[in-house]
Structure 1
Amino acid sequence: MQCRTNCGACCIAPSISVSLPALPLGKAAGERCPHLDALHRCSLFGQPQRPATCAGFAAEHEVCGDSRAQALTIIATLEVATQS
Structure 2
Amino acid sequence: MECRAGCAACCIVISISSPLPGLPHGKPAGMPCPHLTAERRCSLFGQPERPAVCGELPASLDMCGTTDQHAFAYLEELERLTTPNTPSP
Task: Indicate the residue corresponding to 2:87 in structure 1.
Answer: none
Task: Indicate the residue corresponding to 1:56 in structure 2.
Answer: 56
TM-align CA RMSD = 0.8
Which sections of structure 2, spanning at least 5 residues, go unmatched?
Answer: 85-89
Task: Indicate the residue corresponding to 1:24 in structure 2.
Answer: 24
Q: Which runs of 4+ in 1 moved over 2 A?
A: none
Task: Indicate the residue corresponding to 1:42 in structure 2.
Answer: 42
Structure 2 letter corresponding to 1:50: R
TM-score when normalising by structure 1: 0.95
Q: State how far apart, in whole Å, the 1-side matches of 2:38 and 2:20 are.
A: 19
Instruction: Work out the number of aligned pairs and report it.
Output: 84
- Greater relative CO (CA pairs within 8 A, separation 6+): 1
Q: State how far apart, in whole Å, the 1-side matches of 2:10 and 2:66 are.
A: 14
Deviation at 1:81, TM superposition (A): 0.9
Structure 2 letter corresponding to 1:14: I
